[in-house]
Amino acid sequence: MLILGIETSCDETAAAVVARDADGRGRILSNVVHSQLEDHARFGGVVPEIAARAHVEALDGIVARALAEAGIGFADLDGVAATAGPGLIGGVLVGLMSAKGIALVHGLPLVAVNHLEGHALTARLTDGVEFPYLLLLVSGGHTQFVAVEGLGRYRRLGTTIDDALGEAFDKTAKLLGLAYPGGPAVERAARAGDANRFALPRPLLGRDSLDFSLSGLKTAVRQAAQAAAPLTDRDVADVAAAFQATVAEIVAIKARRALAVFTKQTGVTAPVLVVAGGVAANQAIGTALRAAAAAVGARLVVPPAGLCTDNGAMIAWAGAERLAAGLVDGLDAPARARWPLDADAVPKLGSGQ
Ligand code: ATP
Ligand code: MG
Ligand code: FE
């Protein structure tokens, strides 16, 4: 089956065509991402109103390109999927309404996809990972461990009690005068830095906690930056390196704990740990997680960086999985600013596959 996927929940206008074969394997036929970076850069963050307008202007052209690059037309599609939340509501509305129009005009089933489910299922598209697996979702708005037990069956094991990890990267970048978006800029700066010059706190919230707290770390980064001001390139590199090494260590420790909990709960002794969301593109965190997984006999799967950050292929794939399971949405499907992955709002299936 061929699915068109549309993603407009934040600052990427994206569309993709993904094929799902009868055996459940996926193939990306096209994946077009138009970043609005330049529209938001001078504000140091995403401006919702500007984002929504930019989606309106770009989306039709992006969808046309996704179909053209896949070498197909609307008539060849078996369904259309769009992010229905969570995200900036103006942008979500633009993508979802566009998908509804396409569904109506071309007589196609509509799938209203939870953006987080898109991130969560990407590893099944890229690596054919089978249920159940442990997901570490680390993005601009979310930081959580989720037991992925089947399609629509997500159980949250831990989450952040304050900032998301991507948000912490973005705020650290801002403090250091680095370009937006912060994650890639901090990673680049950290390469030349000495991670040991500044000692930062490692809030672990007790021996067994799978929750994260990153706001204290943010304060410590600000104090280190203020103490070293005016910042030389060396200072920036050292603070960036200390921050990145600290979060990598925290994430690795929590991942080991989460894998132990997952194994205890599911009985799976050599589990797969999947990392998803924009921060999964970070190589230092990837290296720390690989070691943590190996230490307990688990396998780490990290999709390619371009499929970790927001894209249309992940939405098309989640749509394909749902459609194959007979889960279709009506043209009255609502756009949601908030939509937890483990909420009942995600229809549950009976089987684990
Ligand atoms: P959500 O998925 O929670 O709604 P989002 O869609 O905005 O949020 P993503 O697009 O998945 O988030 O990821 C963007 C985040 O990933 C940003 O905070 C960005 O700084 C961070 N990020 C991207 N690349 C890297 C990197 N190499 N290292 C660290 N963080 C990164
Ligand atoms: Mg984004
Ligand atoms: Fe995202």
ipTM of the complex: 0.97
Residues 46-63 pLDDT 10s: 899 999 999 999 999 999
Q: Give the pLDDT confidence score for residue 168 in this predicted structure.
A: 96
pLDDT of 344 higher than 70: no
- How far, in Å, from the CA of 277 to the mean position of ligand 3? 6
**Any ligand 1 atom below 6 A from CB of 279:** yes
End-to-end CA separation in angstroms for the chain: 18
pLDDT given for residue 42 in this prediction: 82
The rounded Å distance from CA 140 to ligand 1 centre is: 4
- Residue whose Cα lies nearest atom 20 of ligand 1: it is 183
| C-alpha 65, offset from chain centre | 23
Cβ of 183 less than 6 Å from ligand 1 = yes
Listed by start position, the domains of the chain span 2-124+306-325, 130-305
The answer to whether 310 and 278 have CB atoms below 8 angstroms apart is yes
Write the CA distances from 69 to 107, 155, 157, integer angstroms.
Answer: 22, 37, 40
Q: How far apart are CA 118 and CA 338, in angstroms?
A: 15
Residues 6 or more apart from 246 whose CB is under 8 A from it?
200, 201, 202, 217
Q: How far is the CA of 231 from the centre of ligand 3 (A)?
A: 32
CB atoms within 10 A of CB 185: 21
Looking at ligand 1, which residue's alpha carbon is closest to its atom 8? 140
What are the binding residues for substrate?
137-141, 170, 183, 187, 282
Give the atom of ligand 1 at the shortest distance from the alpha carbon of 12: 10
Give the CATH fold of the 130-305 domain: Nucleotidyltransferase; domain 5 (3.30.420)
Answer yes or no: is the C-beta of 87 below 6 A from any ligand 1 atom. yes
Distances, alpha carbon 265 to alpha carbons 44, 132, 296, in Å: 42, 11, 15
Q: State whether the beta carbon of 281 lies less than 6 angstroms from ligand 1.
A: yes
Q: Given ligand 1 and candidates 40, 114, 279, 287, which is best to mutate, with the most ligand atoms within 8 Å of its CB? A: 279
Indicate if 130-305 has the same CATH topology as 2-124+306-325: yes
C-alpha–C-alpha distance, residues 18 and 179, integer Å:
33
In terms of DSSP bridges, do strands 2-7 and 79-85 run parallel, antiparallel, or are they unpaired?
Answer: parallel
Q: Does 238 sit in the ligand 1 pocket, CB within 6 Å?
A: no
User: Within a 10 A sphere around the Cβ of 273, how many other Cβ atoms?
Assistant: 26
pLDDT digits (tens, 9 = 90+) for 217-238: 999 999 999 999 999 999 999 9
Question: How far, in Å, is the centroid of ligand 1 from the Cα of 321?
Answer: 24
CA 215 – CA 201 distance, rounded (Å): 11
The DSSP element (H or E) to which 142 belongs, if any, is none
Residue 344 to residue 340: CA distance in whole angstroms: 9
User: Residue type at 282?
Assistant: N
Residue 169: CB within 6 Å of ligand 1? yes
Confidence of residue 345 (pLDDT cuts 50, 70, 90): very low
Which residue from 9, 10, 214 has its CB within 8 A of the most atoms of ligand 1, so it is best to mutate? 10
Confidence of residue 181 (pLDDT cuts 50, 70, 90): confident
CA 327 – CA 312 distance, rounded (Å): 19
From ligand 3's centre to the CA of 237, what distance in Å? 27
CA atoms within 13 A on the CB side of 223: 10
pLDDT tens sequence across 99-146: 999 999 999 999 999 999 999 999 999 999 999 999 999 999 999 999
Q: Is 309 in the pocket of ligand 1 (CB under 6 A)?
A: yes
211 lines ligand 1 (CB under 6 A): no
Taking the CA of residue 167 as reference, the ligand 1 atom at the shortest distance is 18
Q: Which residue owns the Cα nearest ligand 1 atom 5? A: 140
Q: Which ligand is nearest to the CA of 179?
A: 1
Beta bridge partners of 30: 17
Res 37: pLDDT: 83
What is the model's pTM?
0.93
Angstrom distance (rounded) from CA 122 to CA 130: 11
Element housing 80 (H / E): strand 79-85
Query: Side-chain half-sphere of 131: how many Cα atoms within 13 Å?
Result: 17
Report yes or no: 59 and 97 within 8 Å, Cβ to Cβ.
Answer: no
Beta strand pairing call for 272-276 and 299-301: parallel
CA distance 322 to 178: 40
Is it true that domain 2-124+306-325 has CATH number 3.30.420.40? Answer: yes
Share of the chain above pLDDT 90, in %: 92
